[in-house]
Structure 1
């Protein structure tokens, strides 16, 4: 296990690094925006098993892949003017009983899904309209249902229902919402993973944003087989109903167990103390405490550890510092490129 003080090792930059980021939730756009500034070739693979909020409502009414995470990722990589982004992100307030809670972007994605007949082509069409720098791929072309088995042996389906159980999760898997077919990712998703220099997992909810993607059989197999550096961005805070009292090692262990081996090559972990006096629990009702560091346990997982002050708490909220995280990802990607070149 090695440690870094965030000094970026510069290697020959013969081409833009190919970086695939897999996940969902609010942390993903922060990292994608920072990577965009680093001039990387970005592919975002976004979870499609969300069943809460506006995404869940739209999904239930018109049977479409939940659009919320896709919407936020599109905005983070878009080169359209900010005013247009604001319109796309606008959410109707509660005074409008029909549109209450819905973001305009979610409705546009749902409409394009109907026009194209599938979510993958819909997102590619919208990516062109929004001048997206990179690629945004739904993890699956079909809506997926997240399933969980808890430590006590009980089983629950549905992301929202799983977290509401507030039980320790043993394992998760996904099923096709509309059929008995095995969930699968489309070929561009698999090709992006296999051709990547770095495959980044997170940041995001461990069991409901990251693992649902890896549990798509052919997508998980691609992550196992890729020669890319597999990087996990560990969460800063534990999450109620998912990772209560987890250490950074616990997070990595769960990913590796679901993949069936030690596939995480590098883990980015926060080593700085969080100023809890700035922390407003009302803003994070699902979060409990800072994730504890367990370097001994991480060593046993066989992964490189890069630890730094990865916190951006300037607003009083606890986010990853996108610039610092992106620097480390770029560093590892170029190192992987250099290593691959010397071995070929």
Structure 2
């Protein structure tokens, strides 16, 4: 008990992919950190979308990733088991084993949390992933021409003119924060706003009623934003300049970000080609335009492109132990 009191509580807020990278890195320090994650629950695309429409269940994919990331067992092995094997199960499309496990637990027992708790136990998770809400909702945005887009899938993979930029976001219907998520945020020593899609992952989580209040209630926690330094060329039409990203993000939190940890890796010629093939764009890191915040540049690129969970986790660990 005395040991746990001296351990730092770190709460990651965001979607499944970015949060999973952070948690995979931070779990290496699970003897010193109490890890939690508050995960977006408004995904409406692909497997999540079909499961929501057919069974009326919560979207399982993002929180599945975050939970698997906290297991002491090999992540690639767990990924192959839970996120590679697909089954038809009387559906139009095949679904991952992990998605079906969480969805079926809710479908047959009316309790999404029960299945999630069972998954945590089965993989011996070193932390706790919470859904930001257990109520059904959809992400909505307004573009700079006044057009309204409803649905995370239509925002994340837009079919509209990409020159139309996202101006603001909200949820329909309004939903309330899950009690476990509220407690995780209020008890944290550090709140980490995850890398990943700004609106469909991070802001979608912050929009749930009660999240802003939980952050405001926690006066001690420092807020750290992780910028991976890249974005999907065919993804959401939010800002691609760091200073503008921070402006948008701080519209949805009750107090300023304390520190930005950003990927300062300079791409090689080979990596430029790789990014083009993967349809990734580099963000503009206009750090000279950012004042009043700690800026920490770290090379967190992994071989083959993308973010290294180990490098990212170490950067965050060093930052919170300054």
Give the TM-score taking structure 2 as reference length.
0.87
Cα pair 2:10 2:189 within 8 Å, conserved: yes
Pair 1:89-2:83 in alignment: yes
- Could you report, residue by residue, the CA deviation over 1:265-293 in whole angstroms, capped at 9, with x for unpaired residues? 111112221235234357634x3x21111
| Partner Cα separation in structure 1 for residue 113 and residue 268 of structure 2 | 42
Distance of 1:76 and 1:99 partners within structure 2: 29
Structure 1 residues 209-220: aligned runs within 5 Å: 209-220=201-212
Gaps of 5+ in 1: 1-11, 177-181, 336-344
Unaligned stretches of 5+ in structure 2? none
The aligned counterpart of 2:199 is 207
Alignment of 1:1-344 (within 5 A): 15-39=6-30, 40-79=33-72, 86-92=80-86, 98=91, 100-163=93-156, 164=158, 165=160, 166=162, 167-176=164-173, 182-226=174-218, 227-239=220-232, 240-243=234-237, 246-259=240-253, 262-278=255-271, 279-280=273-274, 284-285=278-279, 287=280, 289-299=281-291, 302-312=292-302, 314-315=303-304, 317=305, 319-335=306-322
Tell me the matched-pair count: 310
Structure 1: distance between partners of 2:123 and 2:223? 29
Greater relative CO (CA pairs within 8 A, separation 6+): 1
Once superposed, what is the RMSD of the aligned Cα atoms?
A: 2.6
Higher mean Cα deviation, 109-118 or 193-202?
A: 109-118
TM-score normalised by length of structure 1: 0.82
